[in-house]
């Protein structure tokens, strides 16, 4: 998130290319590949795209130059959506203390380990799973190499399947007398 650039938004598809992160290495910020080197494309909903555009109007992206991959890596310049008020790259620590924790405190959410920044990833996963997205697709969006890993981590977020099972069988048996399909048409 702290490494996201307007250049990563592909309006033709619409997706967000996840290509880099801002990382702290030996006290110095660098650009690096995403965790595990998992470069990927994530579907970009219109609502998020619109909010990114609004954010960019209010807070224009800032060109940030950081070394790539290591503290002595080749410098790269990337316009970033999120920077400090001084126009520098935002470290995870600065974001957590200066933005995230202030925001959750302002809403009355308890400021504890369970409500850290990582909760955004879990929220994203739970919303997609609840909407019926496949574990395989979610795994790709999260950058996991194995859908089994995604399932083991997020299985507790899967919606209760009992009601879905009842509805599916009721639909198959066409309990609605006005529905012209069901076992009679099989």
Q: Dihedral sign for Cα 85, 90, 91, 95, please.
A: positive
Residue with the larger pLDDT of the pair 113 and 101: 101
- The average pLDDT across 39-67 equals 95
pTM value?
0.78
Q: Where are the beta strands (DSSP E) in the chain?
A: 9-10, 15-18, 21-25, 28-32, 40-43, 62-67, 75-80
Give the whole-angstrom CA distance, residue 122 versus residue 118. 7
166, pLDDT greater than 90: no
Mean pLDDT for the stretch of residues 121-133: 86
Residue 176, pLDDT above cutoff 60:
no
Residue scoring higher pLDDT (159 or 67): 67
Is residue 183 scored above 60 in pLDDT?
A: no
């Amino acid at each position: 998130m702290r490494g996201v650039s307007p250049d990563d938004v592909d309006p033709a598809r619409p997706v967000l290319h996840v290509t880099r992160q801002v990382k702290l290495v030996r006290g110095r910020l660098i650009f690096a590949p995403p965790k595990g080197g998992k470069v990927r494309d994530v579907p970009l909903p219109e609502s998020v795209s619109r909010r990114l555009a609004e954010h960019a109007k209010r807070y224009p992206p800032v060109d940030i130059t950081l070394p790539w991959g290591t503290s002595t890596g080749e410098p790269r310049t990337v316009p970033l959506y999120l920077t400090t008020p001084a126009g520098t790259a935002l470290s995870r620590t600065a974001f957590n203390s200066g933005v995230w924790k202030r925001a959750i405190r302002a809403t009355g959410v308890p400021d504890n380990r369970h409500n850290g920044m990582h909760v955004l990833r879990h929220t994203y996963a739970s919303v997609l799973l609840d909407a019926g997205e496949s574990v395989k697709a979610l795994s790709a969006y999260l950058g996991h190499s194995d859908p089994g890993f995604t399932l083991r981590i997020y299985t507790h977020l899967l919606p209760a399947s009992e009601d879905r099972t009842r509805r599916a069988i009721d639909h198959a048996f066409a309990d609605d007398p006005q529905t012209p399909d069901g076992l009679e048409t099989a």
